[in-house]
């Protein structure tokens, strides 16, 4: 058997699940094709696929995969790795990527806090707009403060379960 993955290599249940998970991710604001590509790689036993394998699995064009992969790598949901002995690249799902994305990428949240604070400088003091902006600033500041605690509790939970604390790359990615 070859390492090349095809649409037929997946069970009907796996193909349905890829579409189901992609729909959930798309409903959360992620681009549809990026959602499908991420779900396909996540479901694949190796946790990595080439562009051709993703295209065959999802029955889409290479161009669609390329655009999706570009977005996924930009937001650090997947990483690119060179296929040994080849000029091709494999796209890898690091099982910790979403955890890192949610808990560590507070740059956007920090920018929002600054934006809400700046907005309070231009609206009527004590007015309804100022109150909304202040509440959002307070919430996002609180959220940023909680992220470190969430990650510490997650690592403690993993340690209690006998798993090594996660950092990049994940255990499953190191096995590849």
Longest CA span, the chain: 70
8 A C-beta contact, residue 91 and residue 80: yes
**Considering only CA atoms, which of 32, 30, 33, 57 is closest in space to residue 43?**
57
How far CA 158 is from CA of 162, 166, 172, in Å, comes to: 6, 8, 15
Give the model's pLDDT for residue 9.
Answer: 79
Give the model's pLDDT for residue 3.
Answer: 54
Q: What is the dihedral of CA 27, 30, 36, 41, to 10 degrees?
A: -130
Give the model's pLDDT for residue 170.
Answer: 40
pLDDT digits (tens, 9 = 90+) for 47-101: 899 999 999 999 999 999 999 999 999 888 999 998 888 888 999 987 677 776 7
Name residues whose C-beta falls within 8 Å of residue 49's C-beta, 6 or more positions apart in sequence.
Answer: 5, 40, 41, 57, 90, 91
Give the model's pLDDT for residue 146.
Answer: 87
* Tally of CA atoms within 13 A in the half-sphere of 43 that contains its CB: 26
pLDDT digits (tens, 9 = 90+) for 121-171: 999 999 999 999 999 999 999 988 888 788 788 889 989 998 765 543 344
CATH topology (fold) of 7-93: Arc Repressor Mutant, subunit A (1.10.10)
Give the model's pLDDT for residue 122.
Answer: 95
Domain ranges of the chain: 7-93, 98-174
Higher per-residue confidence, 98 vs 43: 43
Entry pTM: 0.71
pLDDT digits (tens, 9 = 90+) for 16-25: 999 999 999 9
DSSP 163: P
């Amino acid at each position: 058997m070859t390492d090349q993955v095809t649409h037929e290599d997946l069970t009907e249940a796996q193909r349905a699940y890829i579409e189901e998970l992609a729909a959930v991710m798309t409903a959360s604001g992620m681009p549809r094709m990026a959602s499908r590509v991420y779900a396909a790689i996540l479901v694949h036993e190796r946790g990595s696929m080439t562009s051709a394998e993703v295209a065959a699995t999802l029955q889409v064009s290479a161009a669609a995969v390329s655009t999706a992969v570009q977005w996924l790598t930009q937001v650090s949901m997947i990483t690119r790795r060179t296929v040994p002995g080849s000029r091709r690249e494999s796209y890898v799902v690091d099982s910790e990527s979403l955890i890192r994305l949610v808990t560590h990428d507070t740059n956007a949240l920090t920018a929002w806090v600054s934006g809400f604070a700046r907005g309070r400088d231009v609206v009527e003091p004590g007015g309804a707009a100022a109150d909304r902006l202040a509440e959002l600033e307070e919430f996002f500041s609180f959220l940023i403060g909680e992220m470190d605690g969430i990650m510490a509790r997650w690592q403690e939970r993993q340690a209690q379960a006998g798993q090594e604390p996660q950092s990049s790359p994940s255990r499953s990615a190191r096995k590849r």
